[in-house]
Amino acid sequence: MHEDGNGGGRGDGSAVNGSGVNQPEVLALERELTVLLRRARANQGEMAREVHPDLESSAYGLLVRLGECGGQRATELAAYIGVGKATMSRQLRALEDLGLVAREPDPADGRAWLITLTPEGQARVGRVREARRARYARRLADWDPREVTELARLLHELNRGMER
């Protein structure tokens, strides 16, 4: 069993209270996540420009979400991305103007609209995502596939934990 700095077991949640936040593993995790997130933000900007030169970096995530989940209401997208209705409306207008998304009536509620990728949006996002996966494959080519699988599993667990 791994022990905390006070000599006790960590099963009691002590890693997240008191001095636990300064444990070496928590500090290392914070440092590595900071680097990863900084690089991810920079990459998101590059990917957005690859989709369309006028696309805002923050809108790239919307396009990916629509590509993965299909049509969604603006309120669902805003909640997922973590922005307000006004910001979402502005981003969606810009994406419509670029020809990347369209609004269509929600079959479940004729008063509501679903936002979907246009065929052009699907093609552009698909090309960029495929290129990104190819970059990952090249950068991880010397990793054991089990390590890649484990990294994906751990990141999934981290993401699930962040939703709580």
Predicted TM-score (pTM) of the model is 0.74
Q: Which pLDDT score, from 0 to 100, does residue 63 have?
A: 95
Q: How much of the chain, in percent, has pLDDT values that exceed 70?
A: 88
Q: What is the largest CA-CA distance in the chain?
A: 61
What is the tens place of the pLDDT at every residue in 93-121?
999 999 999 999 988 888 889 999 999 99
Question: Which DSSP string corresponds to 19-71?
Answer: GGGGSHHHHHHHHHHHHHHHHHHHHHHHHHHHH-TT--GGGHHHHHHHHHH--
Residue 16 has pLDDT above 70, yes or no: no
At 52-103, the pLDDT tens digits run: 999 988 899 899 999 999 999 999 999 988 899 999 999 999 999 999 999 9
Proportion of the chain above pLDDT 90, given as a percent: 66
How sure is the predictor about 155, in pLDDT bands with cuts at 50, 70 and 90? Answer: very high
